[in-house]
Structure 1
Amino acid sequence: MNKGRLEAFSDGVLAIILTIMVLELKVPESADFESLLELFPVFLSYILSFIYIGIYWNNHHHMMHSVSKVNGKILWANLHLLFWLSLVPFATGWMGENHFAKATLTVYGAMLLMAGVAYWILQSIIIKSQGQNSILKKAVGKDWKGLSSPPLYTLGIILSFFNEWLSGAVYIFVALMWLVPDRRIERVIGEQQ
């Protein structure tokens, strides 16, 4: 099957997720800086989640660029990833509205962990369907960022029971780790042309 519909659908879902998140930012009723300051936790959680959605969109885009065709397993694995990402607006809003309370950081971390696992599943299914000599398999290699993210999310979840600041710092660290552009797929595709 052609991968175009999967890419278009995924892009649309991610765009809707971003739209829902920004619509959750409520305009203050008063026109002073103090009212804006009250929204600071909500805005911080929005920024973090916007970065995470951007990271997933970017990596998904590159991963799909390496795929020649899709099958039913890939479609379902992609839906699995989109399911967890669709929970980002809920977890983001809850976390921001409650000023990064322990329970909200736990749920946010669980959502990040499950999205990371879902991404790994999708990547593994693509590699299996495309073969061990596929572009994606060559590009992924050891994948230290992909392998280190789930344990870090788990650490963030555990820390959320004890210290909100450390838990949040772990989630921010993982996002910053992924912000560094990853050009492995671009490099492997360039080598094959």
Structure 2
Amino acid sequence: METNRFETFFDAIIAIIITVLVLKIPQPTTPTLEGVLELQTIYIAYLISFLILYNIWYANHNLFQVVEHIDNTTVWIYGVMTFTISLLPYFTIWLANNVQSVPAETMFGLIFIITHILNTLANHSIYKSNPYNSKLKDLNNDSYLLNLPVIVLILGFVLTYTVYVPGIYICCLLSIVLWIILGRVVRRDENGN
């Protein structure tokens, strides 16, 4: 399959998910600063979810600039990832309204771990199906540093299940910021910049 059509489809899905995500944010109960501050957990949950969606879009945009064809395995992995990230609006609002809920924290964290795993599998599938693409080799995403966000997420699960229920919520934020930073640092180091 050519990546132009697929990239357009995937971009549209992410745009729709972000739109649904923002539409789930309720209006403040009062038109005051206090009314806005009452929704701070919802805003932070939205920020976390927005950042992961944006980072997936950005990474895939860069990847599809150097890849012309993808195979069926990659399409199926992206299909499962699309399904997973389409659940983000639901679980984002559930978490934002129930930050002290272990099930809400767990589901939010699982969405992030599954998305990271699927993104990694998709990258490996693309590399495997394009073995002679020199531009793709320059983007090599095999750095072990890119797995640090999952370690942070696992730490969040440990915190949530032991001493601090919002541990996953906080670690998801740290994880996505780390994922964005590491993605830029690893690419910069490999390109010699």
Which TM class, normalised by the smaller chain length? 0.7 to 0.9
Change (3 A) 1:141 1:87: closer
Instruction: Check whether the contact 1:120–1:146 (CA below 8 A) recurs between aligned residues.
Output: no
Q: Percent identity?
A: 24
Name the SS for the 1:140 alignment partner: coil
- Counterpart CA distance in 1 for 2:136 and 2:84 is 23
Instruction: Check whether the contact 1:102–1:164 (CA below 8 A) recurs between aligned residues.
Output: yes
Change (3 A) 1:141 1:36: closer
Per-residue deviation, 1:37 = 2.2
Per-residue deviation, 1:141 = 5.2
What's the counterpart of residue 139 of structure 2? 139
Alignment of 1:94-173 (within 5 A): 94-131=94-131, 134-140=134-140, 142-162=142-162, 163-173=164-174
Aligned residues: 189
What's the counterpart of residue 191 of structure 1? none
Change (3 A) 1:2 1:24: same
Instruction: Check whether the contact 1:7–1:64 (CA below 8 A) recurs between aligned residues.
Output: yes
Per-residue deviation, 1:134 = 4.4
What's the counterpart of residue 176 of structure 2? 175
TM-score by length of 2: 0.86
Amino acid at match of 2:126: I
Amino acid at match of 1:43: Y
Q: What is the RMSD computed on CA atoms of the aligned residues?
A: 2.4
Q: Bigger CA drift: 119-128 or 81-90?
A: 81-90
Change (3 A) 1:123 1:38: same
Q: Which runs of 5+ in 1 are unaligned?
A: 189-193
